[in-house]
Amino acid sequence: MLLPNILLTGTPGVGKTTLGKELASRSGLKYVNVGDLAREGQLYDGYDEEYDCPILDEDRVVDELENQMSEGGVIVDYHGCDFFPERWFHIVFVLKTDNSVLYKRLETRGYNQKKLKDNIQCEIFQVLYEEALGSYKEEIVHPLPSNKPEDLEDNINQILKWIEQWVKDHSS
C-alpha cells in the first residue's frame, strides 16, 4: 500500500512533536524527529556560538532519511523545511501558536531571554510559514492552529481523514 509523507513544521514549542507522535500512533505512519535523528547520529557540521547549539549537517540528514522517505508513510518533524527535497512531501502543515501561549511554553522549557525573544519573533514574522511557502507548492502548505487541546484533537482528525483519502486516491 502506498502511504503519504507528511511534514510538520513551525517555530519550536508550537506542538509538532505532540501532534506527530499522536498522529503516528493513530495512523500507523512512522514518526521522525529530525532534531533527535541528528543528535543520535551526530549529524552536525560545527557549532553556533551565538545560539549555543550545534549546526545541523543538512546534507547528511537528507542522506540518512532518503530511503525511508522514498518508501513513504513518514511524518517528519522539524523547525525548518527548506533543505528537504521538495519531492519528499505530499502535504506540509505549519503549526501556529498565539504569542502569549508560546511564550509560556518556551519559558517552561527554560529558554533564556535571547532564545525566547528570537523564537517569539520567529512566530510573529511567520518565518516558518514563509519558508514552507517558498519551498513547496502553495496548495500543499496548510497552517494549523495549535493553542489548546481541542486544536490538537481537531488537527489529528483532519489529518487522519486526509491520509485516508490520499490512500484511497492512490490505490489502484
Binding-site positions for ATP read 13, 15-18, 109, 148
Q: Which window, 57-65, 110-118, 131-139, 143-151, contacts ligand DAT (CB under 6 A)? A: 143-151
Residue 110: CB minimum distance to ligand DAT, A:
12
Residue 104 touching ligand DAT (CB under 6 A):
no
C-beta closer to ligand DAT: residue 147 or 166: 147
Residue 102: CB minimum distance to ligand DAT, A:
9
Q: Are 75 and 31 in contact (CB under 8 A)?
A: yes
Q: Are 2 and 110 in contact (CB under 8 A)?
A: no
Residue 22 touching ligand DAT (CB under 6 A):
no
Q: Which window, 13-21, 55-63, 115-123, 124-132, contacts ligand DAT (CB under 6 A)? A: 13-21
Out of 3, 4, 7, 16, the only residue in the binding site for ligand DAT (CB under 6 A) is 16
| Dihedral over Cα of 136, 140, 141, 146: its sign | negative
C-beta closer to ligand DAT: residue 137 or 148: 148
Out of 6, 24, 152, 159, the only residue in the binding site for ligand DAT (CB under 6 A) is 152
C-beta closer to ligand DAT: residue 99 or 165: 99
Residue 27 touching ligand DAT (CB under 6 A):
no
DSSP conformational letter for 42: T
CA 140 to chain centre: 14
Alpha helix segments (H runs only) across the chain? 16-27, 34-41, 58-71, 99-108, 113-124, 127-135, 149-169
Closest CA to 87 of 72, 100, 106, 77: 72
Distance CA 150, CA 115 (A): 28
Beta strand pairing call for 6-9 and 30-33: unpaired
Give the residues lining the site for ligand DAT (CB under 6 A).
10, 12-18, 105, 146, 148-149, 151-152
